[in-house]
């Protein structure tokens, strides 16, 4: 079965539309899941709860230590 370019593009577009519509309906269900309210409360605090290493680290001239 041969499909010309415009029919292929139309079918591909319809397929993408279908897939993205499924994804958006799944996102709507997320707010109804158990624990969602707790996650919304804790999410802003998660980033600041972890102590991160400094962005720049270099070797000392003797090659045995790291300079922070």
Q: Point out which residues pair with 58 in neighbouring strands.
A: 67
User: pLDDT tens digit string along 50-61?
Assistant: 888 777 888 999
Q: Check residue 22 and give its pLDDT.
A: 65
Question: CB–CB of 58/66 below 8 Å?
Answer: yes
pTM: 0.37
Question: CB–CB of 22/16 below 8 Å?
Answer: no
User: Rounded to an integer, what distance in angstroms lies between the CA atom of residue 68 and that of residue 59?
Assistant: 9
User: pLDDT tens digit string along 7-56?
Assistant: 888 888 888 887 777 666 666 777 888 999 998 999 888 888 888 877 78
């Amino acid at each position: 079965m041969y499909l010309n370019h415009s029919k292929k593009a139309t079918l591909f577009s319809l397929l993408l539309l279908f897939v993205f519509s499924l994804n958006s309906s799944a996102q709507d269900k997320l707010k109804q899941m158990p624990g969602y309210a707790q996650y919304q409360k804790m999410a802003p605090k998660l980033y600041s709860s972890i102590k991160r290493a400094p962005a720049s680290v270099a070797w000392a001239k003797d090659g045995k230590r790291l300079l922070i």
